[in-house]
Amino acid sequence: MKRLIVSINRERCIGCGKCVEACLAKALAIIDGRAMLINERMCDGFGSCIAVCPSHAIELVYREAEPFDNSILRSLTLDKLLKNLELTSRSLLRNTP
C-alpha cells in the first residue's frame, strides 16, 4: 500500500538521536552513528522526528510501504503523548525563522 513514511538522508544526519527520542512508535534507531528507519510498519507518518531534526535530514515521502501497525498506539499514555507534543512544538518554534 502507498502511504506517508519517513525517509532519512544519512549524508545529512549528524547522529544526534533527537529523532529516535521523538518517535513514539520506536521506528527509528541510530546505527553506525546515523539515524535509520528500522521498522517501516512502526512508522506512523506523523513527522515528530522531522520537527526535532537539527540537520533537516528527514522528510515524509509517499511510497509503497507495509501498513502501519497501530498496536503501538494502544500502549501510549497521555503523559507520553503530551511529552512528545511539547518536544515537537518546542523544536518547531526554535526552527521557525
Which pLDDT tens digit goes with each residue over 19-71? Answer: 999 888 889 999 999 999 999 999 988 888 998 899 999 999 999 999 988 88
Cα diameter, the chain: 37
Distance of alpha carbon 92 from alpha carbon 87, whole angstroms: 9
- CA 54, CA 62: separation in Å to the nearest integer? 22
- Asked whether the predicted pLDDT for residue 97 surpasses 70, the reply is no
**DSSP for 20-32?**
HHH-TT--EEEET
Amino acid 63: pLDDT: 94
Please report, rounded to a whole number, the percentage of residues in the chain having pLDDT higher than 70.
84
The confidence band for 92, taking pLDDT boundaries of 50, 70 and 90, is low
Q: What is the pTM of this model?
A: 0.77
The secondary structure of 48-91 as a DSSP string is: HHHHH-TT--EEEEEEE-PPP-THHHHT--HHHHHHHHHHHHHH
CA–chain centroid gap for 95, Å, is 16
Q: Which domains does the chain have, with CATH numbers?
A: 2-94 (3.30.70.20)
